[in-house]
Structure 1
Amino acid sequence: MLPKREFCRNFCFHLTTNSSVTYRLMAADKQLTPMMAQYRRIKGELPKDAILLFRLGDFYEMFFEDAQVAAPLLNVALTKRGVVPMCGIPFHAANNYISRLLKAGRKVAICEQLEEARPGQLVKRDVTQILSPGTHFDERMLAAEKNNFLAAVYGVGKSFGLALVDLTTGSFKCTELETEAALLAELERLRPAEIILPSEAARLHELLNSNFPILNGYEDWVFAPETALFTVRDHFKVASLDGFGLKNKGAATGAAGAVLHYLTQHLRRDVGHLTSLSCYQASDYLTLDIITLRHLEILEPLHRDAAKNATLYGALNRTVTPMGARRLRDWLSQPLADAKAIGCRQNAVQTWMENVSALEQFRAQLTQVRDLERTLGRLSAGTGNARDLAALRLALEQVPMLRSILAGLPTSGAGNGLLQEAEEISEPSLLGELGSQVVELPDLIDQIARAIADEPPLALKEGGLIRDGFDPALDELRAASRSGKDWIAKLQQDEIERTGISSLKVRFNSVFGYYIEVTASNLSKVPQHYIRKQTIANGERFITPELKEMEGKILGAEERSIKLEYELFLRVREVMLARLPEIQQTASALAQLDVLGSFAETARLYSYCRPQVGTENVVNIRDGRHPVLEQNLSEERFVSNDTQLDQQVQVALITGPNMAGKSTYIRQVALLVLLAHTGSFIPAAEARVDLVDRIFTRIGASDDLARGQSTFMVEMSETANILNNATAKSLIILDEIGRGTSTFDGLSLAWSIVEHLHNQVGAKTLFATHYHELTELAGRLPRIKNYNVAVREWNDQIVFLRKIIEGGTDKSYGIQVARLAGVPKAVIERAKEILHNLEESELTPEGNVRQQARHRAERDKLKKLAPPPQLDLFGG
């Protein structure tokens, strides 16, 4: 048997100026040890950036640069034999170490021994898989509610192609994006675990490097549309890609072809379960940029220590399967922009709400389906085991009942909620359509049920996978093994009786096989035909020719039965793979049904209403509530508020003190509009939410230290993006614009921005501000209306009522808020003295009034300000 660790001889090395070890071969390949020659050949065939884990007995070894890179990442000792750096990890704990390498962004090649070690012979070895951060199946690193995407990005002219593959679910999709901002927003939404892009695309590397650390350059020619076209067509065995929506989309085709090439050629992965490719259009969805996704906390909280349900996703997630949870993330971060599609989802939610018992039964049954997508992914990629087949069977067994529940739902009666002429939802309903995509596979269920044991082991090559009675040949081998073991048991009893040694035992171990063990006190009774094999502390071990003969039969039968079980498992797996597209379709439909059921459950629990959807640029919400805060408030009742934005009220200016609820209110409106576009019901008494094309937000203040930008620079950059890209169909949320600079500069900018939004952009806008002077705009511009957050004063204290009411306010209540925040009393009293002084009229030495109070003078000047030179493009 080969030693546990084998080393190369005849190597020498030299140290470079940066102390990294390099080496060169001083002798011909024939002078290498056979094992190191094998290592060198395998390593030379791998991607240069892959760390090779080379199986030697009970360890995976790493040599040379691989060892130097991996040792500190894995926190293991870096050793060497002679001049060769090396480190190793135990194979039984390898998954933990591999996870560390993947988290560090490294690729890992696993080289296994393909046969048992035999003395004096080189063990056959080969790479069984190459893992990367975006292509692994490690459940400890995967989040059940998130996809693990590998992305490819390719630029052609001003367009960017983006392709995404999740090997764990079989999802494969692509799109084209017209701007860098749109590309960054989509990548931020999807957060791929790994991104590949052309090696020579310097601008792309620079653009993505700061936000997406795991970037891998790949051969440029692979991305070329003419090359990628053949790659994609060959994978799907089609003559044209028009059916995938890729006609005249060179950038998307380039990205799709590159990601397939990377998986199959670079990582040597089986991608047979990528059975479909969808090409989606950004125009089909409501646009949410990076800033809006973050500010509204749609998927992730702004603060890492926030509770899980502190996001819109957390508040809405009542899905019962991991695949439903992943689909919900998609729907919330990519809301619909089509009223008819929104109405279809609303109808489905309403149907569930009107049939609560069916909803509860459906969700309870659906729980048993579990993560069908990832179960399929593991089985398809060859990493699945018999337990995955058992889980697949359990999932498919739920399908008939799920279909029966769906079939029992009414097919009409839910109004479409649309405000469009003769816009009726055509049959079948969305629930009916999804139900028709859920396929029953009784033959596959029967095959798995007959073949796979109820509780199979995790390992595939240790036996116990296949039921008795499934295969006659396996039954025969098992019978031989069992009869042999019965013979062994009978032998022990016969030998006890023959020898008179009551303590005699027939035992087995992997070194000697079967043997007879006799204690020291009974050695005198041992028959002459026993052959001594080993002396132990309290006795001796013996064998007999008959025992060895039967051992060969038993072990031979066991070995052959284990091998046959694995072959039978693979046959059942092949039967499953033949039905893969149907099962994937079923999984996708069930994921969507799960989200629709989750929408209905949330609406039922929190009394959501069905919003009407139109195209006339109206947002009219009565008693709207914040979908996240409403669920998290425990000490006080959430106060609902109305919102009205239409042809008469385009810009709502909201004033009031800090902590009163201005920011909460404007975020609330944005979230309700977004929710309505997903097809969900919303937390309100009544609502009409017409389609918007984008939601823009400018909320909060933060420095961008990485780019050397101050708070005010970040604020102005985000504002510029809004002013340059918003349309009359957009919804804009602005909070405290201008506060990052001096009062006069900030007020001037805020005033001008509001005028521009009113006259030139025409977007529905909620503008929260401390600049009370801006309330003068309501008297100058026809579609601006003032609102404030109601506050009550009592004994020099303030009480926040959280109610948005019409009209402006001149009071900031800053000192009262400072008191609530715990500012020392002496500071508060001094501030009140200074404020009183500032508010007094300035006096001459003789005691006469010199001029009006400053804030009143400022108001008078603003009233006399000339109108802006731009015409009001939206005036009647």
Structure 2
Amino acid sequence: MCESYFGDKSSCVEHANTLNLTSSSSVRGLNSTCVGKTPLSSGRSGCRSHTPLMGYSVTSSSAVSAHTVASVIVAVVEGRGLARGEVGMASIDLKNPEMILSQFADNTTYAKVITKLKILTPLEIIMSNTACDAGNTTKLFSLITEHFKNVTFTTVQRKYFNETKGLEYIEQLCASEFSTIFMEVQSKYYCLAAAAALLKYVEFIQNAVYAPKSLKVHFQGSEKTAMIDSSSAQNLELVLNNRDSRTGHTLLGVLNYTKTPGGSRRLRSNILEPLVDAETINTRLDCVQELLQDEELFFGLQAVISKFLDTEQLLSVLVQIPKQDTVKTAESKITNLIYLKHTLELVEPLKAALRGCTTQLLKAYYNSLEDTRFGMTLGKMTTVIEDDPRYTKGCLSMRTQKCYAVKPHINEFLDIARRTYTEIVDDIAGMITQLAAKYSLPMKTSFSSARGFFIQMNADGSTLPNGQLPSEFTKITKIKNTYSFTSADLMKMNERCQESLREIYHMTYLIVCKLLNEIYEHIHCLYKLSDIVSMLDMLLSFAHACTLSDYGCPEFTDTLAVRQGWHPILEKIAMEKPVSNNTYLTEGNNFVIITGPNMSGKSTYLKQIALCQIMAQIGSYVPAEYCSFRIAEQIFTRIGMDDDIETNASTFMKEMKEITYIIQNANDKSLIIIDELGRGTSAEEGIGICHAACEHLLNLKAFTLFATHFLELCHIDVLYPNVENYHFEVQHVRSSAGNKEKIAYTYRLSKGYTEEKNYGLKAAEVSSLPSSIILDAKEITNHITKQILD
């Protein structure tokens, strides 16, 4: 295969070596965008800095960080001619053997493509060379490079985007239980073409192929989830805080009490793409309710789930077959077989924790765990793998587990090699004991993966003769009173130890590969287990979040009704419950105009509604005493007035782009949040634009909340009966001297529009602006107002 695609084998190796060393270059007119060259590409040099992710790193089972290293590669291809705008995508996570295919029609803004890519957070994006050629770049390529400046772009020759080859790959690699994918995608030529290029490229960079019938492949249609564009996700701070990306002050941070990387990934994906099927959402809510009501179930499941490793990454490594057998690949396979045994041994405890559950989904998971293939797979492993080996912390302990992973008497030469290894390790310990006695020093045997066996000693300078170690010791390091060092004889013994290990790993690897070939036929049950663990982890996380605050269970009707709801992120930041407010929208009153002074709580309230809607649609309880939601197919926000410096867009132009996008894409099932539209231009023009935008949105049945400082808009309710006016109350408080009046914010929402005048001046009084300037501002404002009235 290497020959047919890359020329002779020697050139293939050469390319693999230079893959990490090619210099960066840019396509003309794209600033510093990285576009990489590979042997699959058409000849452009580029920036590549890949480290193939064949290994396996264990993540702590304590609360999982939301910020994980990107490992997703995405291939994107667009139709040409009359098919322009039809986009096919294929993505695969190098840590998760699941290929996701998508195909959809997009408009000229390519908002769906950008949103999808933002959700995937790719490490690398692959596109056809015909879309990226300098002087002939497509709009899609330009927009993607604009939005993903820190992502590596790689061009691949158009011929590799071959839909026929893509279908062949899927037929060859897709596990039989997912074979319904053939019916779904056989006429979706663009996602098949993307799949062909993606799989060929992954094979190249990983220097490995996926085992036949081992890959999970599924088609992800946009109709199953709500659309939240990337700008709205940023405005609402769903997964990233706008001020400090290191903080957990996001919706993900509020809900993330997951114990596994898979659970954390599922939670993030659900937040960015909430469900639109009420039945599925209610099934999740029933599970959360049972977890909250049954303390034994909650803590029992949490205890078991926390012991699982990253099952998705484990699967990814197991189903890849390396093209070259090295010591590193052998060690990796042995390690992962131990992890797999550890994972399968948790199936029974997980099943025991789920026994007696009453909700539909948890019962279904229990029944899935009854699958005899779990026992068969573990049974096959126990005939070869020792009973004791399992995942343990500590490099020496794990190394010992790998050495003795295979049972004795299966391979006579392996048994001899292990005895030799044991004797060498004993000799090392004996030699260090002799050295300690010889020099009367408190030496002990230590081990690290980098140094192997070495000597360590706690001693101060007075313990050592002349304050120095004897001359036969080398590579001496000292941290406080701890010395680390070795000797020439110890280094030789370490070399013998390594040689013995190589022999052990090689023979163990051959046995492990034979065992894995027998396990591949049962691979589907492992995918099922991975799915169950990540879903249970997310549901437990929802339940955990409820125990920390008084969240309520949402209902789904034709009405958006929230009684005493509050902002979930603000609660986390303030460490106390914020002021709560009510919300009520129906098809007859679907447009709410909100007024109030600056800092009265308008923006916070608007974000709160959107966040509660998202929480409800992912199956979480919601921060409210009572809440009912109408399923939103799209959630749009227009919040904030900061200049977008990166694209050199003014405040006004940014506003116009965002409101245009909403008007073009909103439908009757949308939730629309608009905050202070028209502030980037004059008052007259701002009022005109807001009025026209409102009239357009009023023709839809979408639920719209529109915050504004233009009080003239409030009178639109005379023309349209579906408009309601609300405002945030403030109180006027006189200072103790009695000569100065200040605004006290209540953060309470009340019916009607605000009667506050010149509240910008009153907000300025709260600031440190000199009183003389404020007095002048008041006089000038009064003068201008009189002129307008006259």
Q: TM-score range by the shorter chain?
A: 0.7 to 0.9
1:18 matched residue in structure 2: none
Matches of 1:280 and 1:298, distance apart in 2 = 22
Say yes or no: does 1:325 pair with 2:264.
Answer: yes
Choose which of 159, 163, 184 in structure 2 pairs with 1:221: 159
1:399: Cα distance to partner?
1.8
Residues 470, 301 of structure 1: alpha-carbon distance in 2 compared, 3 angstrom cutoff: farther
Amino acid paired to 1:824? P
Amino acid paired to 1:450? D
State the SS of the aligned residue for 2:707.
strand
Does the CA contact (< 8 Å) of 1:299 and 1:313 recur in 2?
A: yes
1:673 matched residue in structure 2: 613
Matches of 1:138 and 1:379, distance apart in 2 = 10
Matches of 1:463 and 1:611, distance apart in 2 = 50
Q: With structure 1 as the length reference, what TM-score do the two structures score?
A: 0.69
Say yes or no: does 1:345 pair with 2:305.
Answer: no
1:650: Cα distance to partner?
1.3
Q: Deviations over 1:643-679 (max 9, x none)?
A: 0010331111100111111000011111111211112
1:233: Cα distance to partner?
2.4
The 5-angstrom pairing of residues 322-721 of structure 1 reads 322-381=261-320, 383=329, 384=332, 386-411=334-359, 429-438=360-369, 440-441=374-375, 442-443=378-379, 446=382, 447-450=384-387, 452=389, 457=396, 464-466=403-405, 469=408, 471=410, 473=412, 474-479=414-419, 561=504, 563-574=506-517, 577=520, 579-614=522-557, 616=558, 618-634=559-575, 637-721=577-661
Residues 176, 830 of structure 1: alpha-carbon distance in 2 compared, 3 angstrom cutoff: same
Residues 47, 694 of structure 1: alpha-carbon distance in 2 compared, 3 angstrom cutoff: farther
Does the CA contact (< 8 Å) of 1:641 and 1:803 recur in 2?
A: yes
Q: Which moved more, 1:277-286 or 1:694-703?
A: 694-703
1:250: Cα distance to partner?
1.2
1:242: Cα distance to partner?
5.1
Amino acid paired to 1:162? M
Does the CA contact (< 8 Å) of 1:611 and 1:686 recur in 2?
A: yes
State the SS of the aligned residue for 2:18.
strand
State the SS of the aligned residue for 2:612.
helix
Does the CA contact (< 8 Å) of 1:349 and 1:599 recur in 2?
A: yes
Matches of 2:311 and 2:367, distance apart in 1 = 18
State the SS of the aligned residue for 2:561.
strand
Say yes or no: does 1:790 pair with 2:790.
Answer: no
Choose which of 248, 257, 261 in structure 1 pairs with 2:187: 248
1:247: Cα distance to partner?
3.3
The 5-angstrom pairing of residues 228-267 of structure 1 reads 228-236=166-174, 243=182, 245-265=184-204
Matches of 1:44 and 1:490, distance apart in 2 = 49
Q: Deviations over 1:214-256 (max 9, x none)?
A: 2111121221323322233233388987546213211111112
Q: Deviations over 1:311-356 (max 9, x none)?
A: 1111111111111000101111111111111111111111212212
Gaps of 5+ in 2: 1-6, 26-32, 40-47, 60-64, 132-136, 323-328, 432-469, 473-495, 735-740
2:449 matched residue in structure 1: none
Does the CA contact (< 8 Å) of 1:222 and 1:228 recur in 2?
A: no
1:763: Cα distance to partner?
1.6
Say yes or no: does 1:188 pair with 2:133.
Answer: no
1:821: Cα distance to partner?
3.2
1:293: Cα distance to partner?
1.4
Structure exhibiting the larger radius of gyration computed from Cα positions: 1
Amino acid paired to 2:599? M
2:238 matched residue in structure 1: 298
Q: Deviations over 1:479-507 (max 9, x none)?
A: 5677899999999xxxxxxxxxxxxxxxx
Q: With structure 2 as the length reference, what TM-score do the two structures score?
A: 0.76
Give the length in aligned residue pairs: 662
Does the CA contact (< 8 Å) of 1:625 and 1:684 recur in 2?
A: yes
1:150 matched residue in structure 2: 73
The 5-angstrom pairing of residues 73-152 of structure 1 reads 132=50, 145=68, 148-152=71-75
Amino acid paired to 1:715? E
Q: Which moved more, 1:238-247 or 1:658-667?
A: 238-247
Q: Deviations over 1:723-775 (max 9, x none)?
A: 122112111100001110011000111112112211x2232110001111111
State the SS of the aligned residue for 1:187.
helix
Say yes or no: does 1:821 pair with 2:760.
Answer: no
1:170 matched residue in structure 2: 97
Amino acid paired to 1:777? I
Q: Percent identity?
A: 27
1:696: Cα distance to partner?
0.9
State the SS of the aligned residue for 1:310.
coil
Gaps of 5+ in 1: 1-39, 54-61, 71-102, 110-129, 412-428, 492-535, 539-552, 843-852, 858-876
Does the CA contact (< 8 Å) of 2:181 and 2:217 recur in 1?
A: no
Q: Deviations over 1:568-611 (max 9, x none)?
A: 45455555555433222201111011111111221232121111
Amino acid paired to 2:87? F
State the SS of the aligned residue for 2:681.
coil
Amino acid paired to 1:176? Q
Q: Deviations over 1:334-392 (max 9, x none)?
A: 11111111111111111212212211221122100132222332344465354443333
Does the CA contact (< 8 Å) of 1:47 and 1:266 recur in 2?
A: no
Residues 699, 567 of structure 1: alpha-carbon distance in 2 compared, 3 angstrom cutoff: same
Q: Deviations over 1:68-109 (max 9, x none)?
A: 779xxxxxxxxxxxxxxxxxxxxxxxxxxxxxxxx9887999
Does the CA contact (< 8 Å) of 2:556 and 2:630 recur in 1?
A: yes
1:835 matched residue in structure 2: 781
Does the CA contact (< 8 Å) of 2:566 and 2:581 recur in 1?
A: yes
Does the CA contact (< 8 Å) of 2:115 and 2:229 recur in 1?
A: yes
Residues 808, 395 of structure 1: alpha-carbon distance in 2 compared, 3 angstrom cutoff: same
Higher relative contact order (CA 8 A, sep 6+): 2
Does the CA contact (< 8 Å) of 1:184 and 1:290 recur in 2?
A: yes
Choose which of 88, 111, 114 in structure 2 pairs with 1:161: 88
